[in-house]
Every structure is written in structure tokens, then in C-alpha cells.
Amino acid sequence: MKTHSHTASLVWLAALLWSLCAAFPALAQVRTLPDFTELVEQVGPSVVNIRTMAKISRSSPLGPEYDQDMFEFFRHFGLPVPALPRPSPRQGPQRRQDEEQPRGVGSGFIISADGVIMTNAHVIDDADEVYVTLPDKREFKARVVGADKRTDVAVVKIDASGLPAVRIGDVGRLKVGEWVMAIGSPFGLDNTVTAGIVSAKQRDTGDYLPFIQTDVAINPGNSGGPLINMRGEVVGINSQIYSRSGGSMGISFSIPIDEAMRVSDQLRQHGRVSRGRMGVQIDQVSKDVAESAGLGKPQGALVRSVEEDSPADKAGVEAGDIILRFDGKPVDKASDLPRLVGGTKPGTRSTVTVFRRGTTRDLRVTIAEAESDKGSSRPSDRPRSSKGSNAAEKWGLEVSELTDAQKQELRIKGGVMIDAATDAAAQAGLREGDVILAINNTSVSNVREFDAAMVKAQASRPLPVFFRRGNWAQYTVIRPAR
């Protein structure tokens, strides 16, 4: 009787657990941890070890009669190097020896069966020779197809066929909290597998690309290896870590594979990457800047300066504009803009949506090919006449007219030069030599217009100011003393 009752209880408990799992799928998911064995078997054969060599030239200071090993013997044990007569012209110059020395170790993965391999640009940087070792221990000397330091993506090629290529995943489907796996050669240890979860997406580290952040253990030598989702697809290239010790601290960054594939396609076709440019220097839109400009919330990219004769200049973009959209795509933060523009083919006619003086307008810009930015300059030969009104002095400002030469140098139509900034103006960050272009989102071309704007300013409310410092334009808010 007890046996029957015990069995009935077990059946009832099993039924309860089954119903709970059916009602709450999350409970079923935590019953077991993910199994990566099939993924390793599937992707492992496509992951390679990359080692680089550098040629070092040496010459024997003892002349052709002694080789380098003998010289090192004397030097190592602190023995005096025997004096030798100078070589005669018949003996010729001192012998030079070119030696290959290991430079570094990294990882990579096969993206096509004919031996095309993707890795990081920093893995092969400055290497004289690149060697690829497959998981089956076959080794090949690789040819560098191309490398792009800006995105840290490189492509190398080995003479082989029938190789197992990886499957490329969709980064758009990748979710924070999703399990991922890495395979690589940390510290030269081939075919090492580590796993973790996606910690964040679109992580801005100041580089050209938004990174995938994970807690997967990534160490030196993992660079260039694949980040793999649970479907066995590559979703990123392991590229960077945050570390105070040089080893893994649970914060790793991977290049999104969609961005990397776009770069690799250009490298394979042209050997280099062609990027678009507009010719603007930009900055983040802070809360104070948004308040000063009347934008409502911090968003977009603040144009600090516009390069002369650049596509942006020809399109009418001005310093102080806040770029909100590019070709219809939102610019939520400043780092979004160079990614959008850089990914646009040179020669494309694009639309830039800017916020200027409280209004939004669309400008048409023809994208040029990326080139190095020019430096900035500062205004000079400031006049010391036509001081501002008493209203301006209450805010801690003294200003004067701009000369025609200064307007031409700064490429502006008007404004007033700050001769002195004290009290509230100084606390707002203004200083002598700055050029005020607008007060309360109202343009000021000269001292008279500046005075009129200052008279209208309410002493009890913050005063938005748009100004130039050299070639850089920015906003600030002068706050009344409390």
C-alpha cells in the first residue's frame, strides 16, 4: 500500500513539474547549460593559427673571420673581444646576416574554400612573413591581400582548395544575453575554446566601428578569431579586450561581422578600402548644448568646423549645425555620423538633415573620398574698439567688431570678438579671443546687433550663446548669478 502511494506521489510530482515547464518556458531553459561540443566540431576546422615573422639584419663586428655566434659567446660571458686587424679591401665589407624572428601570434578563420582567411589588421601589421597553420597541422605561407587599420580587418590568402569555410551570421538577430563562443590561439595555444554571453551591442569605444561586447575570455593570440553564435555562425571578429593586467577581465570586444565583410569585400576587390567623407569636425551634443540650441534633448552630431571647399562646405553646412539624420538614417550620437558617411560610396549625392537656429533643414551633399583632415587656426589681430553695451558687461562680456580679414580667415559673415570674459561669462567657459555668432539662437553680425540681443536678454534666465574658438564652433549657456 505504501509502495503504491509513493509511486502515485512521484507521478503527481512529475506531472506538476511538466505542467510548470509548459506554463513557464523559462524554467525549461535553465534545466541544462548549453552544449558547445557540436559547435566546436562544426566551426573548429575553419579556425586557423596565424604567426608572423620579422626579418632582422645583423652584421658581425668581428669581420668575416668570426661569425655572430662567437661574438655572442664573448659578450655573454663578459670576456674581452679579441682585437683584430681591420679587414683589407680584398676581404670586402663586414658580413650581414638576415634572420627571421617571431613577431607575434594570432588567429583567423576561413571565409572561402579557396583559402581566403579573415583576421585582424594588427595581427599582421609590420610582418615580413605570414604563416597559417590549419587545425590538421598543415602550414602555408600566406599572401596579404589587404589590411584596413581603421577597422582592424585584414584578409590573407593561402594556396589551398576544398577548405571548410565558416557560415556568416546576421548581427541584427544577435541579442544581449545570448550565448556565444570563441575559438582561437590565446598565448599560442591552438584551438582553444571559450564561451560566455553578449554583454552589450553597439558599444562605442572611440573606434570607427560599434563593437559587440562579451564576457568571453579573450587573451593575446585570440585576436582575429571568430565569435560564434549558437547556430554555428560567425557574428564577429575578436579584436580587443579591456584589461589592467594584459589578460582577460571579462570585458571583450568583437568587430561585427557584417561590417567586417563589407571591408573584406573591398580589400579582395581593390586591395584597399574607399570611404566617404564630408569634411566636418564634429562633437557630441551634450545636455547643455541641446538646451542652448533649443533642441529639446541631446542627440545628433554638433558641427565644430567645416573644411573649406569640402563637400559639406559646398552643401551649405555651417559650424554650429547639429546633424540629426544622414540619408534618412538617425544620428543619435556623434560617432554614428562617420560610420554612416564612411560607408557611403564616394560620389553619392546624400541628404543631410541639420538643426540650425531652431529650425530643421535638408541639405544635399556630394560625398567625396576620405582624406586626412586639415588643422585648425586661430583668429589674430583683434581690434580694441567699439566695445559692447552695459547690458553685456552685466553678463561679464566685453566685445568688439571683427575686421574683414578676420571674417575672411574664419570664413564667417559676421560676429563679435570677445575682448574680456569675467564673472558669469568666464564660468560658462567663454574667454578672450572667442567670436560670438548668436545670442538666444539669434545671429549677431556686429556689435550693434549684439547689443540689441543683450538688451532683450532676461537677467533671471540662462543665456544661450553660440561662439567660435579658432575653427571650432560650440554652444554654451551663461547662467545668471543666484
332 is in an annotated binding site: no
Of 46, 60, 107, 152, which one is the catalytic site residue? 152
Give, in degrees to the nearest 5, the angle at Cα 303 between 298 and 304.
110
Q: Measured on CA atoms in the order 318, 324, 327, 328, is the torsion positive or negative?
A: negative
Task: Count how many Cα atoms sit within 13 Å of the Cα of residue 26 in the half-sphere of its side chain.
Answer: 0
CA distance 100 to 103: 9
Catalytic-residue membership of 385 = no
Of 223, 248, 292, 350, which one is the catalytic site residue? 223
Catalytic-residue membership of 122 = yes
49 is in an annotated binding site: no
Of 122, 125, 258, 288, which one is the catalytic site residue? 122
221 is in an annotated binding site: yes
Cell of 178: 545570448
DSSP label of 171: G
223 is in an annotated binding site: yes
Amino acid identity for residue 356 in this structure: R
DSSP of 365-395: EE-EE--PPP-----------S---HHHHHT
Report the 10 Å Cβ neighbour count for 425: 24
Q: Output 364-367 pairs: Cβ under 8 A, ≥24 positions apart.
A: 364/315, 365/278, 365/311, 365/312, 365/314, 365/315, 365/317, 366/311, 366/314, 366/315, 367/276, 367/277, 367/278, 367/311, 367/341
300 is in an annotated binding site: no
Q: Where are the alpha helices (DSSP H) in 319-440?
A: 336-342, 390-394, 404-410, 423-427
Q: Which residues are annotated as a binding site for substrate?
A: 122, 152, 221-223
Active-site positions read 122, 152, 223
Q: Which residues are annotated as a binding site?
A: 122, 152, 221-223
